[in-house]
């Protein structure tokens, strides 16, 4: 498993990220010397995944404070980098009163600790011999270390509850086929990459016992934004009677939203889908809370009705 500092770290005068666009073929770093360069690394997905985006933003503000940049301008350029993952705004709000390197590193450390806690809770939901399916990448790369949904798979594997993982390739940027497969390979967990469109037939064939995904923003009623394709999986899971779990830290819960209707959905460059023909490229979709079997945070397993059960899911002070 990658060390948190290998994924993102603050060094004197720069923030350094492992370039997730190049994985798994190449392990190269990207160094950012300004908040605007950190914002660009977030927008171009050098670093991606909701909690990791929050950590990156915290490091960007700490760098700006260290180098004497205007902090309001730094906050604004970072806040505008990507719209859907609420961890970005959460981390920037957290850093407002104390934009120090220590505080940013504490936010990073705490995200990893939350991952370990929620992974343990999620693993307890499984029976021996479980065959899981996951979508996109919600591993250590996406959280700054350990991982949320992939962390839960690792915890289940370590407890001899997991036997296999189906990994949606996750078009158009292949976070599943490139990043999740790489992390599962490193953990020695049996897995197979499938085309996103193959998930339905795997479920129909009885090959899937449970689905674990991460999240980018969760509203008070459980409506959850995650990588495009997640909603379709939840509908299929309901049809086939397969438990569908969202594993995410409380820093990903947006308590200001009663439901998912107001979650901003990022529309990315259509050429990520095809450069040859007209295209649309929504990067996320929203799964209604009623299709989610449970939301698992560092506090535990939260069941419907979510307005009650998620009320207590707040980041510990």
Binding stretches for ligand MRU (CB under 6 A): 48-51, 85, 136, 138, 142-143, 148, 175, 214-216, 226-227, 283
CA 96 to centroid of chain Cα atoms: 23
97 is catalytic: no
Q: Which is nearer to ligand MRU, 105 or 227 (CB)?
A: 227
Quote the tokens at residue 260.
């998912």
Q: Which is nearer to ligand MRU, 47 or 65 (CB)?
A: 47
In angstroms, the CA 211 to CA 35 distance is 37
Quote the tokens at residue 158.
């370590």
Whether 228 and 268 have beta carbons less than 8 Å apart is answered as no
Selected catalytic residue, list 168, 216, 223, 254: 216
Whether 212 and 134 have beta carbons less than 8 Å apart is answered as yes
CB of 300 to ligand MRU, least distance (A): 18
CB-closest chain residue to ligand MRU: 214
User: Would you give the DSSP letter of residue 308?
Assistant: H
CB of 100 to ligand MRU, least distance (A): 25
CB of 146 to ligand MRU, least distance (A): 10
Q: Which is nearer to ligand MRU, 65 or 89 (CB)?
A: 89
Beta 224-227 vs 300-302: how paired, if at all?
unpaired
- CB burial of 239-277 (b: ≥16 within 10 Å; e: otherwise) equals eeebbbbbbbbbbbbbeebebbeebebbebeeeebeeee
CB of 26 to ligand MRU, least distance (A): 18
In angstroms, the CA 111 to CA 9 distance is 14
Q: Which is nearer to ligand MRU, 75 or 183 (CB)?
A: 183
Active site residues: 216
């Amino acid at each position: 498993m990658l060390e948190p500092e290998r994924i993102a770290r603050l060094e004197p005068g720069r923030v350094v990220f492992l370039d997730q666009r190049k994985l798994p073929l190449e392990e190269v770093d990207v160094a950012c010397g300004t908040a605007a360069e950190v914002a660009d690394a977030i927008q171009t997905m050098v670093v991606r995944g909701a909690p990791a985006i929050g950590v990156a933003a915290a490091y960007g503000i700490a760098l700006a404070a260290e180098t004497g940049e205007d902090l309001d301008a730094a906050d604004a350029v970072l806040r505008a980098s990507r719209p859907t993952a609420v961890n970005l705004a959460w981390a920037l709000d957290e850093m407002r009163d104390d934009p120090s390197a220590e505080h940013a590193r504490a936010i990073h450390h705490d995200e990893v600790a939350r991952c370990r806690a929620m992974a343990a809770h999620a693993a307890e939901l499984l029976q021996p011999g479980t065959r899981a399916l996951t979508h996109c990448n919600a591993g250590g790369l996406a959280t700054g270390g350990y991982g949320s949904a992939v962390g839960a798979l690792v915890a289940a594997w370590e407890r001899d509850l997991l036997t296999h993982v189906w990994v949606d390739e996750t078009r158009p940027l292949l976070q599943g086929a490139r990043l999740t497969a790489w992390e599962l390979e490193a953990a020695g967990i049996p897995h197979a990459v499938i085309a996103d469109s193959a998930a339905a037939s795997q479920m129909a064939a009885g090959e899937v016992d449970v689905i674990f995904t991460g999240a980018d923003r969760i509203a008070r009623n459980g409506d959850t934004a995650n990588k495009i394709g997640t909603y379709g999986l939840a509908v299929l899971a309901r049809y086939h009677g397969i438990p569908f779990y969202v594993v995410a830290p409380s820093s990903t819960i947006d308590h200001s939203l009663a439901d998912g209707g107001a979650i901003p959905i990022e529309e990315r460059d259509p050429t990520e889908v095809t450069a040859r023909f007209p295209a649309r490229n929504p990067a996320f979709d929203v799964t209604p809370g009623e299709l989610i079997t449970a939301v698992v945070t560092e506090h535990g397993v939260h069941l419907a009705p979510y307005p009650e059960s998620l009320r207590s899911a707040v980041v510990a002070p």
